[in-house]
Amino acid sequence: MSFFFTALQKRLTALPSTLRSMKTDYASLKSQVQNFSEFYGAAINEAKKQISAAISEMSEANKDLLEKYRKEVALRRKYHEQLVELKGNIRVLCRVKPVLKEDQQEEGQSVVVTTDPNNESSLAVLNKGKTRVFELDKVFHPQATQEEVFQEIEPLVTSCIDGYHVCIFAYGQTGSGKTYTMEGNMENPGINQRALKQLFSVIEERKDMWSYTITVSSVEIYNEVLRDLMSKDGEKLDIKINPDGTGQLHVPGLRVIEVKSFQHIKKILATARRNRITFGTQMNQHSSRSHALLCVTVQGTDLATGSKTTGKLNLVDLAGSERVWKSGAEGERLKEAQNINRSLLALGDVIQALRARHTHIPFRNSRLTYLLQDSLGKGSKTVMVVQVSALESNLGETLCSLKFAQRVCKVELGPAARKIESGGQDSGPRGTGLETPVLKKGQLIISKTFDCNPHAVFV
């Protein structure tokens, strides 16, 4: 028994030392745990810093890449425009109509057309789950202003003053915004008013060096009938052979008005707008049922040399293409739609022939193409603004418009030719169709181009 107590006493004696050792080990372990926690936290923070720095570097790299891409796109566009100018291509601009809130509330009104913020020449159309990309000369996003659109066209106004033939026309389905782009409203005037205001502004700047005479005429083509929009009665006109033996054509009775100021021409535009034929359809409450053509002729004289220039600005608001079953056209509206679509088809045939460089261009197949010969013939500067809807319900018409626009992009009219007379003689080469004829009011002049296609000019 004493032996047992002796052993127990030894263990009890050694126990404080063991406890002290355990306490020391525990304190050490606790310190290590605390240190590990601090080390782990520091490591996490350092890792976060490194990740943030890496993301920042990647972000900066992405910004640099994006900036380089934008510069590359801008440079490519600049060279493309120079090439287009040299070849004389018809420039095609595309404007996407903004989607209204009430449109999105209706069934089947989802958006299928999108623009690329980093590429001003591209837009994409979603069709049956597949995306098709269209490349044009310039694409305006739905929020683009009237001013932004005109900035792309502004240089052409000066071209007209310098003696070039210029045409700007809007193409697209009914209700896509063509008339808004061309005419606008009181708060936001369209291309017509902005172009004419710019024209008078440039003329004012040159008044000490040049003297100018500006004349205006306005007609519409309704059911293949030519009507004078300057006439209250909507007088019907016809294109006939001039009895003077020149073989040229003229429009008897066409009113050609000389204008002295921008305010004067605004009154003329208002008159033409009131006299234009519009009716409501299921696609547009104020559908333009005719093609409207405003022709501005600028004849200039250099006060120092006596040289004379003759420029022409054709502003064309085409009637909208439409599917008869969709527009609900009946009776007279049906006849109008058929004539509109027929004339636009004729325009498509002319574009196809020009693109293929056929020797015969079927300008005479409709009144519309007959009057647009001046703008679609050789040596002219032409811009088409194609209007499209972004809504799925208009997908068919949108694709048709964009396919047509791509064909138009490839049409080459040749380098623009300036109409100028020096010392009583035309500076253009003889026999090329660039001669400037003696202009008479009320005439539709037809001069022959090099390939014997008639070349129509309104004066």
398 annotated ligand-binding residue: no
Q: Which two tokens stand for residue 371?
A: 């009057």
Cα angle for residues 169, 370, 271 (degrees, 5° grid): 55
- Output DSSP code: residue 318: P
Contacts of 43 (CB under 8 A, 6+ apart): none
CATH topology of domain 88-458: Kinesin (3.40.850)
- Residue 186 confidence class, pLDDT cut points 50, 70, 90: confident
Q: Which comes out higher in pLDDT, residue 107 or 325?
A: 107
Sketch the domain layout of the chain as residue ranges: 88-458
| 3-class state of residue 70 by DSSP | helix
pLDDT mean over 67-72: 61
Q: 179 labelled as ligand-binding? A: yes
Q: How confident is the model at residue 190 (pLDDT cuts 50, 70, 90)?
A: very high
pLDDT digits 0-9 by tens, 380-396: 888 999 999 999 888 98
Does the annotation list 173 as a binding residue?
yes
Q: What pLDDT shows up at residue 454? A: 33
Q: Do the annotations mark residue 176 as ligand-binding?
A: yes
Nearest to 321 by CA among 309, 294, 339: 339
Cα-Cα-Cα-Cα torsion 151, 152, 158, 163, nearest 10 degrees, comes to: -160
The answer to whether 414 is a known ligand-binding residue is: no
First to last CA, the chain: 141
Q: Given this model, what pLDDT does residue 67 score? A: 66
pLDDT tens, residue by residue, 193-241: 999 999 999 999 998 899 999 999 888 888 888 888 888 776 678 777 6
The answer to whether residues 256 and 459 touch, using CB atoms and an 8 Å cutoff, is yes
CA–centroid distance for 253 within its chain: 35
- Mean pLDDT along residues 36-44: 65
> Averaged over 12-32, what is the pLDDT?
67
Q: Which stretches within 173-215 are classed as H helix? A: 178-182, 191-205
Confidence band, pLDDT 50/70/90 cuts, at residue 428 = very low
Q: What is the pLDDT of residue 86?
A: 52
Scanning 305-454, the segments in alpha helix (DSSP H) are 324-327, 332-355, 367-371, 373-376, 395-409
Neighbouring-strand partners of residue 224: none
Residue 178 counted as an annotated binding residue: yes
306 labelled binding-site residue: no
Q: What DSSP designation does 391 have?
A: B
The whole-model pTM stands at: 0.70
Cα dihedral value 121, 80, 180, 347, nearest 10: -110
272 exposure class (CB count in 10 Å sphere: 0-12, 13-18, 19+): buried
**pLDDT mean across residues, the chain:** 76
* Residue 419 confidence (pLDDT): 80
Alpha-carbon span 389 to 112, nearest angstrom: 9
pLDDT tens digits, 98-156: 887 666 656 557 889 999 888 888 999 999 889 999 999 999 999 999 999 999 998 88
